[in-house]
Structure 1
Amino acid sequence: METEWNSFALEVTYTVLGWVAFVVWSCSFYPQFILNFLRKSVVGLNFNYLLLNNTKHTLYLIYNVSLYFSPAIRFQYHKKYGFDQMIPVAANDVAFSTHAVLLTAVLLFQVAIYERGNQSISKITMGIVITVWTTVAVCSFIAFQSNSWLWLISIFNTMQVIIAALKYIPQVIMNFMRKSTDGFSIGNVLLDFGGGMANYAQMATQSIDQNSWVNFSGNIGKVLLSLVCMFFDLLFMCQHYVLYPSNKAASASVTEPLIKSPNQPVAASVPVAENV
């Protein structure tokens, strides 16, 4: 029997915050998707970031689906953290993870069909991804022998947090090297930050109602994910609005007035840099 909520108001708040996080985080994928579509280009978007992001969300999806739907894993969770504790995964977590895997796959498809310049996926990133899935295979074999399914998905949850931190670094470095955020959607960043705040607030609401912070340790991956996202989002905001606000590649030009005096020579167009 699952633990009941003590406060109906907090239960409603928990549900609302969860679906707000789902909507905002899910919408955060679309500015980049639309930007790529309009430009017919993915130049400026780091492919290492995309591949790591898809890997991270796949691991998070496995964790959320397993803990939300599997009676055996839920029993193992209660056995470890207490039968009076709530499962720290909600329906919105499952919905978000499913959507995130699909959208990151679509973004990778855009990389395959749009202009990408000389960009490519680095050997380091490929090594990380191969290491991750090798670890998944080895740990799955170990878990199968001992039925340690909660241990297994907890490893997946830990790995997705590590990848969440790693995935932002290539884009941060690319922005720094180019001294520009052109091609990387700031709308994605702003929505991602809002989703992280709502996600963290949802966890806090459950803890307040239950007068226990066990759900934070029980799903430490969800907590750290919110904090990691918000940290890097603030860094991206700093790059976009403070460090490199006017470094978009020049694409506009200023021409002479159409009406000239009879003796005034016609001047050539003078290109100027366009502000972001």
Structure 2
Amino acid sequence: MGFLQFVSALFGWIYTLCWSLSFYPQGLLNIKKKSTAGTTVDFPFLNILGFAAYLVYTCAMYWSPVIRHQYALRNKGYSPTVALNDVAFAAHAVVLTAILNTQYFMPWLWGFERAPGARPTRPMAAAFTGSLALVGLVIVVVAAQPADADPRTAWAWLDVIYVISYVKVAMTVIKYAPQLRYNWQNRSTEGWSISQILLDFTGGVLSLAQLGIDSYLQHDWSGVYGNPVKFLLSNVSIIYDVCFIAQHYVLFSDRGKGAKSGERERLLERGDEDNERLD
């Protein structure tokens, strides 16, 4: 194994570790507070669909002979740049996200009081349902193709996998927005774990670096545009993470201001009531 191959593998497993660890801080913080107050349910609700889609995408790209063959036909014979650590991360993410969802939808399991605003907002619920409908439509279109259709020019099962990957990208693009807005309304990040954001940011940077190294080693940048989900996920996550970091450490930092916990709780409750009205 050459030096760059080693660096790529190292970055891959470190980013997998960072992104995997990022699922724990929010759930642990909720347990510590015995409440999900301060966070929106939209984030875990959209996350479960997004990571389920990502798991299907990575498994198909890594293991499916049909998908890998069709990918090679469209990308100069190269193999997908999906690595085993991508599959491992996706599987872990689905499990942890499912557990986090129970804190919002089944708070009695954890001994939590049901927090206000514990239902997805209508726009996010519509995005969830619409994504499933889109995938179903593309499956029907591909299934209707002639058996001898050329996968290089006709709709193929690879396109189904791409659409599923775009569902993950879409969920990532919108899932942070309600929480970002919530923090802005309340002028606080209380209840929202900054540790998960720092881990997510580190993982995004290393994931992007690994993708670039792998494409360089192939001497072809189709590894980037042929694996758009990994490229977009890293960039979108980094942008949102920077916004959350700015909110926590710059815009709404109350260190040294002696903010009273009672005042902070009232802000959180008011934000939860605002979210209820949006429903």
TM-score (norm 1): 0.85
The match for 1:30 is 24
Residue 68 of structure 2 contacts residue 79 of structure 2 at CA under 8 Å; is this kept in 1?
Answer: no
1:257 corresponding residue in structure 2? none
1:31: Cα distance to partner? Answer: 0.7
Partner of 2:276: none
Give the SS at the match of 1:82. coil
C-alpha spacing 1:178/1:55, structure 2 compared with 1 (3 Å): same
Q: 1:116 to 1:189 in 2, by over 3 A?
A: farther
- Pick the aligned partner of 2:236 from 209, 228, 231: 228
Q: 2:100 corresponds to which letter in structure 1?
A: L
Q: What is residue 55 of structure 1 aligned with on the other side? A: 49
Q: Is the 8 A contact 2:22 2:199 kept in 1?
A: yes
Deviations 1:12-32 (A, max 9, x none): 111111111110000001111
Q: Distance in 2 between matches of 1:159 and 1:272?
A: 36
Question: Which runs of structure 2 are paired with 1:8-157 in the superposition (5 Å)?
Answer: 8-83=2-77, 85-111=78-104, 112-113=106-107, 114-119=112-117, 120-146=119-145, 148-157=156-165
Give the C-alpha shift of residue 249 in structure 1. Answer: 6.9
Q: CA RMSD in A?
A: 1.9
CA distance in 2, matches of 1:174, 1:165: 16
Superposition pairs of residues 129-208 of structure 1, within 5 angstroms: 129-146=128-145, 148-208=156-216
Q: 2 CA distance for matches of 1:241 and 1:79?
A: 48
Alignment of 1:226-265 (within 5 A): 226-246=234-254, 250-251=260-261
CA deviation map 1:50-91 (0-9, x unaligned): 1111111111111111111100110000001011x2321000
Q: Structure 1, residues 127-173: CA drift from partner, whole Å, max 9, x if none?
A: 11111111111112222233711111111112211221100100000
Distance (whole Å) between structure 2 residues aligned to residue 50 and residue 116 of structure 1: 16
The whole-number CA distance in structure 1 between the counterparts of 2:122 and 2:187 is 24
Identity of aligned residues (%): 35
Alpha carbons of 1:100 and 1:44: their partners in 2 closer, same or farther (altered >3 Å)?
A: same
How many angstroms apart in 2 are the aligned matches of 1:248 and 1:118?
A: 27
Q: Which aligned segments of 4 or more residues in structure 1 are displaced greater than 4 angstroms?
A: none
Question: What amino acid is the match of 1:102?
Answer: V
Name the aligned partner's letter for residue 29 of structure 1. Answer: F
Q: Name structure 2 gaps, 5 residues minimum.
A: 148-155, 266-279
Please give the per-residue CA displacement for 1:177-221, whole angstroms capped at 9, x wherever unaligned.
Answer: 111101100000000000001100100111221221110011011
Aligned counterparts of 1:80 and 1:155: Cα–Cα separation in 2: 16
Matched-pair contact (CA < 8 Å) for 1:43–1:116:
no
Q: Deviations over 1:208-267 (max 9, x none)?
A: 212211100110110010000000000000000111111897337xxxxxxxxxxxxxxx
Contact 1:28–1:187 (CA<8 Å) still a contact in 2?
yes
Bigger Cα displacement from structure 2, 134-143 vs 193-202: 134-143
Counterpart-to-counterpart distance in 1, 2:192 and 2:114: 13
The letter of the residue matching 1:215 is G
Contact 1:61–1:97 (8 Å) recurs in 2: yes
